[in-house]
Amino acid sequence: MDTFRKQEALKPYFDQSYGCAAFSSVAKGGLFIVGGAYGAGDIYKLADDGTVDTFVCKVDLVQAVAGAVLGGEVYSEIVFFDTEADYDRFMTGNFEFSANVKAVVLTASAEANATTMGNKGLQAGLTTEGTEVTGVNPLAEKPEYTKGMKVFTLSLGGFMYQATVGGQKFIIKK
């Protein structure tokens, strides 16, 4: 989660979100028309001032995709929850659909993503330190969410191309 805390654009989310699920490392791979991903993460409740995180439980991310896919990558992901009700809905273990276009070469990446958890928009960079998250409206008075959630990812490295549709499942380990 430290990588995401360093992103100045995410400060409003850490300050104002009820909680988050953070995945420091998600491994993704695919060959020709099928692919998948897996990552283990932690769920936190965030303090009102965004400074103290309360660990709640572990969570697994499992993803299956179909379409043009070749290679593998590793990335970090964080999901913010706007309210306690949004957090509670996530804790039931939800399933989300996505459409992705992405290219990763070592630590350089470019991607666009549309999901039922919110569009991430275009993101590009050469390293996690050099990549700034997108999908944040700097003029908004408060963080923006889709269905009470907002997702951000940072590519850590790999060599992958994908133009896919798929689903993502979160398995809560209480």
Please give the pLDDT value at position 42: 96
Q: In one letter, which amino acid is 15?
A: D
Distance in angstroms (rounded) separating the CA atoms of residues 93 and 172? 6
Which residues lie closer than 8 Å to 103 by C-beta, 6 or more apart?
109, 110, 111, 160, 161, 162
What digits encode the pLDDT tens for the residues 105-158?
554 445 545 454 444 444 444 444 544 555 566 667 788 888 888 888 888 888
Task: Please answer whether residues 65 and 160 qualify as being in contact, where contact means their C-beta atoms are separated by less than 8 angstroms.
Answer: no
What digits encode the pLDDT tens for the residues 44-90?
999 876 566 899 999 999 998 888 888 898 889 999 999 999 999 99
Please give the pLDDT value at position 60: 95
Render 99-165 in DSSP notation, one character per residue: EEEEEEEETEEEEEEEETT-----EEESSTTT-------TT-SS---BTTEEEEEEEEEEEEEEEEE
Task: Please answer whether residues 60 and 171 qualify as being in contact, where contact means their C-beta atoms are separated by less than 8 angstroms.
Answer: yes
Distance in angstroms (rounded) separating the CA atoms of residues 41 and 1? 10
Please give the pLDDT value at position 38: 96
Please give the pLDDT value at position 130: 47
Please give the pLDDT value at position 125: 46
Task: Please answer whether residues 155 and 104 qualify as being in contact, where contact means their C-beta atoms are separated by less than 8 angstroms.
Answer: yes
